[in-house]
Amino acid sequence: MTHQRLQTGSILDGFTIGEKIHSGGMATLWRVTKPGVDVPIVMKVPTILDGDDATIIVGFEMEMMILPRLSGVHVPKYYAVGDFARQPYLVMEYIQGQSLFSFIDRAPLPPDEIVALGAKVATALVDLHRQNVLHLDIKPSNIMLRESGEAALIDFGLSRHLFLPDLLEEEFRVPMGTGPYIAPEQIFKNRSDPRSDIYSLGVLLYYLATNVRPFGVPQAQSSLKNRLWRDPVPPRRLNPEIPPALQEVILRCLEVDPEQRYATPAQLAFDLANMSQVPLTERATRMERNSYFDAWKRWFASLGAQGGPQQPRATQNNLAPIIMVAVDLSVEMEPLWEELRANVKRVLATMPGVRIACVNVLKLNRLTINYALDESGRNVHVQRLVELKEWARPLGLSQERITFHVIEHMDPAVALVDYAKMNHVDQVLIGARASSTLRRFLGSTSSQVVAEAPCTVTVVRAPITSGAVEMAADAETARADSP
């Protein structure tokens, strides 16, 4: 295999090679330019030594397959690819911003900063998983923060596309990942679980919170397996400044059993955006690692664990969606309440892992004073929250599966759409008032949400009773008889 020797000033497929900006064991990065491309771009060239490192070659093949299929602000934009027969390369956007690796020297970071960074990375994973790609190598050096604020994921050499062949799984029988961040299931060569990325993000959050890697820097496969039976030292034991809710989130990400982690990065991002509502379990107050006896039991149980290739599984978004229920608590909407609850129950019956977010908009006045207390002296916001929880009580959901949000806004439709966008909502259930001439002329909240929400919207109406049908018929007759 003969490759062109690249140097500053060389031209390859119309790209002029500029300065070398990075040279590592896996790849070299060059600044490049091309007529017609007016944004900064780089060329990534695999580091293939004499004898050709098979892992590097196959990993680069995977990246060459995956990157052109990705889009959006959370990944670098793809421009061109070169064939291995002549000169393998990838040309992509040069992301201007800051690597998350630069934050490591400042660890431990303030809790608010950790939460904000975690939410950005979780949001990037939401976008990636919805494009059917698992990153499988989440770590600080593979995360860039754009100047506009979004997190962008880079380096897809260990990634898997759920609808493409997984060359790494087919050709190798060793764990693929970075030792400190690799998920337990990856150790057994399972590269099909989206929750592996959640585990790795949990390791990153732990590191930013404590300046300690939860499982050190393992040098051999045997030491990788320690995470199967030993829990990490609880973060609050190392840094008392960490709030219990943040420890709850981190330790949930680091559960050995994927079923005990967040089902999707969207649910993780949701909790990070709503830390005051994170349900606290014993994880939040834990101050010790699991006992040696418990570790021995886990070690004994792990002896029967089997590795090997896994069937690709769908991402969890369709199995554990976030459903936003927009509840209008005004008296005239009371006939709709039961119908709205019935729709929620149908969703719960078909999707057991669903997370329900009950949302009510407390409309603010544009021109007049907004009073915090009602006529009885009760806080309006708190009272609305109490009423919202009372509405949801018949659903019988545990606090892990339902949250409540009262949003103060002048425009209910805008508030609901913004909430759906910011919290990666998969479906909206919203009630609609009966039709009227004024509403047809001015539009309605539900119709605006249908038009602008980034997800499926189900509009619920109260069933028409026989009496209502007769009244409607009489009204229609009256209009027909009028001169």
Scan for tokens 């001169």, then name that residue. Answer: 483
- The CATH label, of 3.40.50.620, 2.40.30.10, 2.60.120.260, 3.50.50.60, for the domain at 321-467 is 3.40.50.620
Enumerate the domain spans of the chain. Answer: 11-93, 99-316, 321-467
Where does the pLDDT of residue 313 fall: very low under 50, low under 70, confident under 90, or very high at 90 and above?
A: very low
pLDDT at 292: 77
- CA-based nearest residue to 348, from 329, 390, 320, 313: 320
CA-CA distance, 464 to 476, in Å (whole number)?
16
The superfamily in CATH containing domain 99-316 is Transferase(Phosphotransferase) domain 1 (1.10.510.10)
Strand-pairing partners, residue 90, are 44, 81
Per-range mean pLDDT, top range of 193-207, 314-328, 409-423: 193-207
Q: Which residue has the higher pLDDT, 322 or 300?
A: 322
Lowest mean pLDDT among 9-23, 41-55, 434-448: 434-448
For the stretch 100-145, pLDDT in tens is 999 999 999 999 999 999 999 999 999 999 999 999 999 999 999 9
* Mean pLDDT rounded to a whole number for the chain: 86
CA-CA distance, 28 to 429, in Å (whole number)?
50
Q: Which residue has the higher pLDDT, 164 or 79?
A: 79
Concatenating the DSSP letter of every residue in 130-159 gives HTTEE-----GGGEEEETTS-EEE---TT-
Q: Which residue has the higher pLDDT, 193 or 441?
A: 193
pLDDT at 251: 98
Residue 245 pLDDT > 90, yes or no? yes
Where does the pLDDT of residue 189 fall: very low under 50, low under 70, confident under 90, or very high at 90 and above?
A: confident
Q: How is residue 329 written in tokens?
A: 């608590």
Scan for tokens 């539009």, then name that residue. Answer: 443
Could you tell me which CATH number the domain at 11-93 has? 3.30.200.20
Residue 51 pLDDT > 80, yes or no? no
Read off the pLDDT of each residue in 323-346 and give the average, rounded to a whole number: 91
Per-range mean pLDDT, top range of 110-119, 323-332, 381-390, 421-430: 110-119
Q: What phi and psi values does residue 22 have, to the nearest 5 degrees?
A: -160, 140
Cβ-based burial of 126 (10 A; exposed 0-12, middle 13-18, buried ≥19): buried
pLDDT at 383: 86
